[in-house]
Amino acid sequence: MPAVQFSDQDFEAKVLKNKLPVMVDFFAEWCGPCKLAGPVVDKLAEEYKDKLVIGKIDVDANQATAGKFGVMSIPTVIFFKDGKEVERMSGFGGEEGYLKLIKKVLGE
């Protein structure tokens, strides 16, 4: 199961109001490091599908959401819990970097 796709229109319902913690990968199609992050994010989405919602949002197509959360560089991953930002990583942190934050957010 690949990562979910989020948009400006559904971000509040799918992310901020979600009962599970949510990891959002802010990316753009033209971004080299984002292309490296994409398959890792999809893999983690499958591995953690029962504990965490993992999705992506294209910053070019969804500028309002990227602006609202102050995303200045991509890729940026933001974790949300109970509608609030709880962790953030700018730049591609690799699978290990993402796993470290996932475990922190899940309290593992």
pLDDT in tens, 52-91: 999 999 999 999 999 999 999 999 999 999 999 999 999 9
Q: What CATH number has the domain bearing residue 81? A: 3.40.30.10
Range of the domain at 23: 4-93
Catalytic (active site) residue 31? yes
HSE on the CB side for 8, CA within 13 Å?
A: 10
Confirm whether 35 is domain-assigned: yes
pTM for the model stands at: 0.96
Identify the active-site residue in 3, 22, 23, 34. 34
Q: Say how many domains are in the chain.
A: 1
Average pLDDT of the segment spanning 85-104: 96
Identify the active-site residue in 15, 22, 24, 31. 31
- pLDDT more than 90, % of the chain: 97
Confirm whether 71 is domain-assigned: yes
Confirm whether 103 is domain-assigned: no
Confirm whether 105 is domain-assigned: no
Catalytic (active site) residue 86? no
Q: From CA 100, how far away is CA 82, in angstroms rounded?
A: 20
**Per-residue confidence at 2, pLDDT binned at 50, 70, 90?**
confident
The residues pairing with 54 across neighbouring beta strands, listed in sequence order, are 23
pLDDT > 80? residue 1: no
- Angle value at C-alpha 71, between 48 and 80, nearest 5 degrees: 35
